Structure 1
Amino acid sequence: MASLLYLVLLIFTTVPGNGCVRTSKNISQPRGGSVTIPCHYDYIYIHHVKYWCKGYMWSSCSTMVRTDTPQWKGDVSIADDPDQRVFYVTMRNLKEEDSGWYWCGVEINGAVDDGASLYLTVTPAYLGVKTESWISALRGESVTIPCVYEMRYKHHVKYWCKGFR
């Protein structure tokens, strides 16, 4: 019985995405636009290096930006807010080839890193107004919801309401 418990603990402490890092699951944005993705983490990771990588498999994803190196690389940036226990990744000038699996990662020295994945879809274009269909946030914290609109609506009044269409 003790060996079974050890095996279960080993599995849950070495598999990325074990609950200490959280993010949205699916995000869709238009080509040419930008997206800022919040990656929430537990207090035990406040002083750890955070990073953003692309790839379907956690073990072989390609790191794009990290918090311990220059935090801008091309059109991708990363910023950590340890007071709120969240780091933000911003991708600008999105291209359709940016579509794919990404990981919010936290480096764990001497152990398997922790992370959470999401799928980004870059669409050919958008019509009218577009926003996220699902946003994650922690209770008591603020949340930013992007509302992207076509230039023809630049001088129109914008408003936010709750409910169904």
Structure 2
Amino acid sequence: MTVRRFNSLLLLALLTVSGSSSTKVVGRAGEDVTLPCKYDITSNGPTEVFWNRVSESLLGFNHQIIYSDGYKVIETTRASSRYHLLGRLEDGDVSLTILNTTEEDAGRYGCRVETSGWLFNDEKHLIDLTIEKVSGSSSTKVVGRAGEDVTLPCKYDIKYYGPRAVCWGRGSISTYGCNNQIISTDGSKVTTGASSRYQLLGRLKDGDVSLTILNTIEEDAGLYGCRVEIPGLGNDEIHHIDLTIKKAPSTSSTPTTETTEQTPQTEQTTNTSGQVTITTSSNSINSEQQEAGGGVLVFMVRVLLAVIALVTAGVATVIGRRWNQHKIPQQQQSSTSVRFSSNSSAVELQLLQIDAGGNSDCVYEV
């Protein structure tokens, strides 16, 4: 394995010095890019593949970034979780995909497919990668509302790298560190913070270093950058988030009128002389609209009481006639008085019991 790596690096150095032609690939910051590399697996069968980053120095190489034995990627050789062989290895497609590219990913890459025979029989591919800078170089956009909390996402593979230092800054991420740094963490706890409104509320132990801005204002809008420090030259993971803050909706207060309704109460009392007094009262209703309709209610109550009085008088008359038929003594006389009152009105009914001659005397007062 060590000899093969040395041969791979030596070959890339020779190719660089000799000015070998290369394939040019152009990507955009924040997007994924694929560097092509394939071989004829039907002729050679599954074989080892090496990917390296190539410098412009005399030696022409710096370090290996990923390796496959022809069947799978050997994880211990993966220099960054952003490097993947997403092609069909069983078909000989060993193209390199770089996730979430940054400007630091630009440069020359080398792919070597080992074949039987001498070193110079191996298949060699050089790819020159150019990364175009995009205004706000971010594929992530977040929209918040003034006065509310908002979270800007940023995560990394903590199982692979372990806890890593992370910084957040306003504006585009620079080559090193964070511009206008607002908060940072050593991977286990927050170490610096420019304001108490900036919080890392995600689970740091799971690699969630998302930034939460509390009680946002319109001035919080703009570009933010998250840098995760990964060992190796140009391996840092960089995320850009473009935050838009919308104005809070205007609130208008509408006057409200409280209305209190109470059910009319009826009291009935009977005195020793047989006089029955029925009193109906209605409490005040605290509403201008109901006060306007109070007169109608009083009128209806009056009509109802009058009807009750007439019905009571009729019933009393029938009862008197039946008593007369049973020859009740002439001297026996009884009087019944029914009185109704409701606030400003009163209904009074007096019934004089039937006399000996069968005559009746009824007096109604309304």
Q: Which residue matches 2:53?
A: 6
Corresponding residue to 1:122 among 240, 245, 262: 245
Q: Which residue matches 1:106?
A: 228
Take 2:239 and 2:195, find their aligned partners in 1: how far apart are those partners? 21
Q: Which residue matches 2:155?
A: 40
Identify unmatched segments of 5+ residues in structure 2: 1-10, 17-21, 23-51, 56-63, 66-97, 106-137, 251-366
Give the TM-score of the pair, scaled to structure 1: 0.57
- Whether 2:192 is the aligned partner of 1:74: answer no
The answer to whether the Cα contact below 8 Å between 1:71 and 1:78 also exists between their aligned partners in 2 is no
Alpha-carbon offset, residue 109 of structure 1: 5.6
Structure 1 residues 124 and 100 mapped into 2: Cα distance closer, same or farther (>3 Å)? Answer: same
> What's the RMSD between the two structures over aligned residues?
3.6
- Whether 2:151 is the aligned partner of 1:28: answer no
Q: Which residue matches 1:155?
A: none
Q: Secondary structure at the match of 2:147?
A: coil
Alpha-carbon offset, residue 82 of structure 1: 4.6
Higher relative contact order (CA 8 A, sep 6+): 1
Alpha-carbon offset, residue 30 of structure 1: 0.7
Deviation string, structure 1 residues 107-130 (Cα, Å, up to 9, x no partner): 246644321111000111258xxx
- Whether 2:205 is the aligned partner of 1:89: answer no
Alpha-carbon offset, residue 25 of structure 1: 0.4
Take 2:147 and 2:104, find their aligned partners in 1: how far apart are those partners? 30
Deviation string, structure 1 residues 66-120 (Cα, Å, up to 9, x no partner): 1131457331012463543322211012111111111121124664432111100
Structure 1 residues 82 and 46 mapped into 2: Cα distance closer, same or farther (>3 Å)? Answer: farther
Deviation string, structure 1 residues 31-50 (Cα, Å, up to 9, x no partner): 11111233121233432111
The answer to whether the Cα contact below 8 Å between 1:16 and 1:116 also exists between their aligned partners in 2 is no
Structure 1 residues 92 and 15 mapped into 2: Cα distance closer, same or farther (>3 Å)? Answer: same
The answer to whether the Cα contact below 8 Å between 2:152 and 2:241 also exists between their aligned partners in 1 is no
Structure 1 residues 37 and 100 mapped into 2: Cα distance closer, same or farther (>3 Å)? Answer: same
Identify unmatched segments of 5+ residues in structure 1: 128-165
Structure 1 counterpart of 2:217, which letter? Answer: K
The answer to whether the Cα contact below 8 Å between 2:163 and 2:207 also exists between their aligned partners in 1 is no
Deviation string, structure 1 residues 125-158 (Cα, Å, up to 9, x no partner): 258xxxxxxxxxxxxxxxxxxxxxxxxxxxxxxx
Structure 1 residues 48 and 80 mapped into 2: Cα distance closer, same or farther (>3 Å)? Answer: farther
Identity %: 26
Q: Secondary structure at the match of 2:245?
A: strand
Number of corresponding residues: 121
Take 2:226 and 2:163, find their aligned partners in 1: how far apart are those partners? 16
The answer to whether the Cα contact below 8 Å between 2:182 and 2:193 also exists between their aligned partners in 1 is no
Take 2:210 and 2:233, find their aligned partners in 1: how far apart are those partners? 24
Larger radius of gyration: 2
Q: Secondary structure at the match of 1:87?
A: coil
Q: Which residue matches 1:62?
A: 180
Q: Which residue matches 1:161?
A: none
Q: Secondary structure at the match of 1:74?
A: coil
Q: Which residue matches 1:15?
A: 102
